[in-house]
């Protein structure tokens, strides 16, 4: 494998078999999954980046105009009109929020990196949504989230920012000492202090996960919500099919 990424490693943690089908076997998807979450996120990420790259000159009206031009092209991806309206309103709410952000301390937007983590392990590739610098706080990293809020203290979630911190050190000579997930729809931010110990933990996590991949430990991990909605290979998964069979039998018994 040429490189790893936080999203790839996170997917492996969610389900090893799902990871195998996509990144090892390069299998053709067999099942439909919703795409509007990803498309919506890409739209807002692009506007978030435009706002920073324009030094804040692109204000709400201009950003909203771009969003209004692009949103109709993805309407077919939404399951129904109600969902599309909900996401549109969330988008406007998010744009209104981040269009007011101070961006004079943003030193890079969508900063690409390729970071060696450990001997024998493919490098981590990724993009930092924002690298921020202030004389008082030093470097900080931010990642935009358009979905539900979660705690940055969750170790596996935190590793994304911790990896960004290490990438910051590789690029700028100093690591980011803190970072946050920017939940722009809800308006919440989840901050985390990033220490050398946490960077070491993240490197160990990457190395341990890669070792499992090398050992071809691609076990299926069943999760009803993820499997039934977001796995494009569920028809190829024995664990999922077994659960479905058991559910059908139980349902049949219930009716009887």
pLDDT by residue (tens digit) across 121-174? 999 999 999 999 999 999 999 999 999 999 988 888 999 999 999 999 999 999
How would residue 256 be classed by pLDDT, with cut points 50, 70 and 90? very low
In a shared domain, residues 239 and 208: no
In a shared domain, residues 125 and 176: yes
Residue 154's domain is classified under what CATH number?
3.90.320.10
The boundaries of the domain holding residue 145 are 105-214
Last residue of a domain, one of 53, 72, 103: 103
In a shared domain, residues 79 and 141: no
The per-residue pLDDT for 253 is: 55
In a shared domain, residues 240 and 147: no
The per-residue pLDDT for 250 is: 74
Distance CA 17, CA 197 (A): 31
Look up the pTM and report it: 0.92
Chain-centroid distance, C-alpha 250: 36
* CA angle, residues 61, 184, 190, in degrees to nearest 5: 150
Q: Walk across the sheet containing 106-115 and list its strands.
A: 106-115, 124-134, 138-145, 178-183, 188-193
pLDDT in tens, 29-87: 999 999 999 999 999 999 999 999 999 999 999 999 999 999 999 999 999 999 999 99
pLDDT greater than 80 at residue 247 = no
Number of domains in the chain: 3
Place of tokens 């590789």: 170
User: Contact, 51 vs 98, CB < 8 A?
Assistant: yes
In a shared domain, residues 190 and 121: yes
Distance CA 176, CA 163 (A): 10
């Amino acid at each position: 494998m040429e490189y790893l990424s936080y999203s790839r490693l996170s997917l492996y943690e969610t389900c090893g078999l799902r990871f195998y089908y996509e990144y090892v076997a390069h299998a053709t998807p067999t099942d439909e999954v919703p795409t509007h979450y990803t498309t919506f996120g890409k739209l807002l990420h692009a506007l978030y980046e435009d706002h920073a790259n324009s030094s804040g000159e692109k204000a709400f009206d201009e950003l909203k105009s771009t969003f209004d031009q692009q949103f109709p092209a993805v309407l077919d991806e939404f399951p129904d009109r109600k969902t599309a309206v909900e996401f549109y309103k969330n988008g406007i709410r998010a744009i209104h929020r981040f269009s007011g952000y101070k961006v004079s301390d943003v030193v890079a937007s969508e900063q690409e990196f390729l970071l060696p983590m450990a001997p024998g392990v493919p490098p981590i590739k990724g993009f930092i949504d924002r690298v921020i610098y202030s004389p008082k706080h030093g470097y900080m990293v931010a990642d935009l989230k358009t979905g539900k809020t979660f705690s940055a203290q969750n170790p596996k979630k935190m590793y994304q920012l911790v990896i960004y911190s290490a990438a910051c050190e590789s690029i700028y000579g100093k690591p980011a000492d803190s970072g946050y997930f920017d939940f722009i729809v809800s308006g919440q931010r989840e901050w985390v202090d990033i220490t050398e110990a946490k960077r070491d933990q993240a490197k160990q996590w990457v190395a341990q996960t890669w070792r499992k991949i090398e050992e071809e430990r691609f076990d299926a991990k069943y999760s009803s919500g993820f499997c039934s909605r977001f796995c494009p290979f569920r028809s190829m998964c024995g664990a999922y099919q077994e659960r479905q069979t058991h559910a059908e039998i139980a349902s049949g018994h219930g009716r009887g």
